[in-house]
Structure 1
Amino acid sequence: MMTFTDIARIALCAVAFGSASIAGAEETSTAAIEGFIPARCLLQVNGIKYIARTCQFRPTGGGDFVLYGGDYFAYVFMSPEDGPNTAVAHWNAEPSSTHAHNPLGKLERDGACWVSKAVRICAWKLEK
């Protein structure tokens, strides 16, 4: 069952990421997209690694963040009602789609990663 919060998050994904996705499609290097920071990232869903390289990371406030790596991106939203180390995530699932309308469910924090049985989303600071 979707709650109002889930619907609001999906709407935010669609609105906030659309322009960055277009900019990213035109930029083939890992140079920073406005407001994004290069990071070492992993987006793995059901055993398939969709992002497993340098990507763009952007904190969006309150512990929430977005990862963008070429054709795929994911939003991670803190879920304080479920505890301090719990988040929910959404991703685009279709290459180059500008909407993160596919839910990844609840995730638990594990170091630099947010994980569930089927999902692993990680972001590590790049070493200089």
Structure 2
Amino acid sequence: MKKLASAMLLVAASVGPAFGKTARCYVEYLGNVYIDGQCEFSASTNGSFDLTFGEWWVTVEVIEAGWADGRWNGDGDYGYGQKLTPASHQHAFFGYLRRDGACWSNREAKICAW
């Protein structure tokens, strides 16, 4: 029974993002800046990472050198200048992002972590 409980605890601990260190972050989407300040940063071994700030959660998943897929929990009416609200799950995509130093961006989004 102890082994089963330990295994269940290990699985529960591995679900969802693990948050690491404090970083300076910048997230902009469709002309709105969602953060330009402190956030929690957690990196994966392949260069992918998660950012959290307040109720927001952003994931940048590296798909090949210099390119990533970005997603977050932004919700609402999408349109340039429309401010979104945080949802309880990630379902919105930034699209493909190209790396430029500490930032990943495309025509609609820019995500940076230092």
Query: What amino acid maps onto 1:86 in structure 2?
Result: W
CA shift, 1:61, in A, is: 2.5
Query: What amino acid maps onto 2:100 in structure 1?
Result: D
Q: Which has the higher strand share?
A: 2
1:58 aligns with 2:42: yes
Larger Rg: 2
How many residues are matched? 91
The residue number in structure 2 matching 1:92 is 73
Q: Distance in 1 between matches of 2:45 and 2:88?
A: 21
Q: Which has the higher helix share?
A: 1
The residue number in structure 2 matching 1:4 is none
The residue number in structure 1 matching 2:10 is none
Answer whether contact 2:59 2:72 (CA < 8 A) is retained. Answer: yes
Superposition TM-score, scaled by structure 2 size: 0.73
The gaps in structure 1 that reach 5 residues or longer are: 1-14, 18-33
Superposition TM-score, scaled by structure 1 size: 0.66
* Map 1:1-128 → 2, pairs under 5 A: 16-17=16-17, 35-80=19-64, 84-94=65-75, 95-124=85-114
Runs of 4+ in 1 over 2 A off after TM superposition: 94-98
